[in-house]
Amino acid sequence: MTDLFDIPVATAESGSATLRPHAGKVLLIVNVASKCGFTPQYAGLQALQDCFASRGFSVLAFPCNQFGAQEPGDAQEIASFCSLTYDVDFPLFAKLDVNGPAAAPLFRHLRSAAPGLLGSEGIKWNFTKFLVDRSGRAVKRFAPQTKPEDIASDIERLLG
């Protein structure tokens, strides 16, 4: 089994890293977009971050332009939008693909570990959310329409 924390990810600063600094935390990994009907969920994601960060939780956001070209900006534009519009302070990573042959290894792993409805691995839209436990196991996938506040009890359970 692949260790989620060792999967390479691209940082917003054009570097490469892993999720190792987040090992031992409960994570909500989300593919996000700035021009999507679900974009207001940034506020709810930040509320989860504010509520649970001190207990070992973090939202990790991965911008994606695969669905309706709803994330056209570069890393600086995305970060500025998130900061100015939603006061986001959780990590924003580099824009990536979540489906197809160029899908990022992290999302290939998450799709396989936590399939969607009827076992589907493909991600249907922006703001698909993956809840990951402290050991790095993807325990649940949430559809884009699932509001962040509706995930709070699942996060609470994993935080113990």
Distances (CA, A) of 107 to 27, 86, 124: 14, 25, 13
Percentage of residues in the chain having pLDDT higher than 90: 89
Distances (CA, A) of 146 to 30, 103, 105: 12, 23, 24
36 is catalytic: yes
Supply the angle between the helices 75-86 and 41-52 in degrees, to the nearest 10. 80
**Average pLDDT, stretch 89-111?**
96
Q: Mean pLDDT of all residues in the chain?
A: 94
Catalytic residue among 36, 51, 64, 82: 36
CA distance 107 to 47: 24
Quickly state the pLDDT bin for 117 (edges 50, 70, 90): confident
Residues 6+ apart with CB under 8 A from 113: 137, 138
**Domains of the chain with CATH codes:** 4-159 (3.40.30.10)
- What are the pLDDT digits (tens) for 30-78? 999 999 999 999 999 999 999 999 999 999 999 999 999 999 999 999 9
CA distance 34 to 115: 25
